[in-house]
Amino acid sequence: MRRFLVPVAALAGILAGAPAHATSIGPGAFSASKVVESFEGLKPGANITLALGASLLAPGAVSAFSFASGVTLTSPIPNPGVFADGPFVHDFALAADVTNTWGAGRVLNGATASSIPSGTAYLGAFDPGAGTASVSFTFASDVDRVGAYVTGVVGGTVTMRVYNASGVLLESGSIATVNLPQWGSNFIGIENLAGIRRVVFSGPDFGMDALTWDPKVVVVPELGTLPSFAFGLVGLLGIGVLGRERARAPAKH
């Protein structure tokens, strides 16, 4: 039985083939230019509703929701609500009025909030019908690698899928959930230099934090190498022209 608890009350229920350059990665694979979304700092508003208590929020209540980091929550939109597979942000900086119970060793409340890998908040979703909930994020432009720290219900698995700008699945991977003390070491990530535009996390009942990505790196020749490159290209063209002229010249006897 999955439970969200508020004081005095308990509420029940809460792979196409991959290209060769797709790689499973850990948190150490990201560059100094990485961007991290910790899901903190949200407040109720026009596109964020109270999901339960003061600490549980539902972003994307009306339309796609962009976090401060720039990544956008694009599905499910509009947010159908916590009890209908909708994503929620649980932030203990707002209040400690909601307990999220994923099972033994996974009771997340004010006393165990320090288990959250980054800050005071995380994003989660669950299917009260024992099915699978999915959360989709879209980037403004292609990224080279993406990942997050995940955990969830006992015996659960979190699956991550990445897609290109055309919606083609590039790669997917899965990881088992862990007890709260291990959450900060349970990272799932994927690198794909073809360009990742969208990432989807799914599972029966899960939470994720520190969504991390590297903007796509575009390799441009250094200015100092351009003159020598141009000179070499001219030389090659000259050799080609000379070769053709020699081919046209009559043979000497």
Please state the rounded mean pLDDT for residues 150-163.
Answer: 97
Structural domain 3-215, CATH architecture: Sandwich (2.60)
Question: In this predicted structure, what is the pLDDT of residue 222?
Answer: 62
Pairing of β 9-12 and β 3-6? antiparallel
Rounded distance, CA 97 to CA 151, Å? 21
**Would the pLDDT of 171 be above 60?**
yes
Q: Which two tokens stand for residue 134?
A: 């999915």
pLDDT in tens, 30-82: 999 999 999 999 999 999 999 999 999 999 999 999 999 999 999 999 999 99
Ranges of each domain in the chain: 3-215, 220-253
Rounded distance, CA 56 to CA 19, Å? 39
Question: In this predicted structure, what is the pLDDT of residue 96?
Answer: 95
Q: Measure CA of the first residue to CA of the last residue in the chain; give whole Å.
A: 98
Q: How confident is the model at residue 217 (pLDDT cuts 50, 70, 90)?
A: confident
Rounded distance, CA 164 to CA 195, Å? 6
